Amino acid sequence: MTSGRVCLVTGASSGIGAAVAERLAADGHRVALAARSEDDLDAVAASIRANDGQVLPVPADVTDAEGVEGMYRAVEEAWGPVEVLVAAAGSGSGKALVDTTDDDWRGAIELNLTAPFRCLRRALPAMLERRWGRVVVIASVVAKRGEAQVAAYTASKHGVLGLVRSAAAELASSGVTVNAVCPGYVDTPMTDRTVRAISERSGRTEEQARDALARRQPIGRLIATGEVADAVAFCVATGAVTGQGINVDGGAVQS
Pairwise CA distance, residues 139 & 246, whole Å: 9
- In Å, how far from its chain's centre is CA 78? 23
What single-letter amino acid sits at 41? L
Tell me the β-bridge partners of 137.
87, 180
Tally of CB atoms within 10 A around 147: 14
What single-letter amino acid sits at 106? R
Pairwise CA distance, residues 170 & 173, whole Å: 8
- Count how many Cα atoms sit within 13 Å of the Cα of residue 227 in the half-sphere of its side chain: 16
Tally of CB atoms within 10 A around 202: 11
**Closest C-alpha to 134, from 59, 233, 12:** 233
Strand locations in the chain (E) = 6-10, 30-35, 54-59, 84-87, 133-138, 176-183, 245-248
Torsion of CA 113, 116, 119, 122, to 10 degrees: -60
- List, by residue number, the catalytic residues: 153
